[in-house]
Amino acid sequence: MVTSVFVKKWNGVSMQDDGAYVSKEFNAFQNAFKREISRICKNIGASLVSYSKGHYDMSGFIERDGHYVYFSYDNSCNAGGRAYANLRCRGPFFCRTAAHEKDYRGGYNNTIPFTEAEETFNRLLNAMHLAA
């Protein structure tokens, strides 16, 4: 599974919160997260069609055969101005079906550990294909 290397490198890593802007540490994590989502998409025959980096959060849409999944990761900072990458627990990461790449309301949230992203994306896209 592709995510194993990414998770080993980033899970639990402490990153400085630089207040009004994203720290260099978290920016590096955001970029690695995007690369990992792109790798997952390639593995399941999907495409990353949009990706947005916010202040300690990321989101986007993947597409396969005209079907979409929205994903979101929120890594809020803890006391002391530190953010910790949490990739093995449910909570900070979720995904859901979407009608198109601007559908932020879509289906039910699937709150999962990031380690289950590939299989969940694939399952959601397959379910949409069968329902069509």
pTM for the whole thing? 0.90
pLDDT at 2: 58
pLDDT per residue as tens digits for the range 99-120: 999 999 988 999 999 999 999 9
> Amino acid identity of 29?
F
Q: Where are the domains of the chain?
A: 18-78+87-131
Q: How many CB atoms lie within 10 A of CB 37?
A: 24
First to last CA, the chain: 29
φ/ψ of residue 112, rounded to 5: -135, 160
pLDDT per residue as tens digits for the range 37-58: 999 999 999 999 999 998 888 9
Do the beta carbons of residue 94 and residue 112 sit within 8 Å? yes
Provide the token pair at 123.
Answer: 């399952």
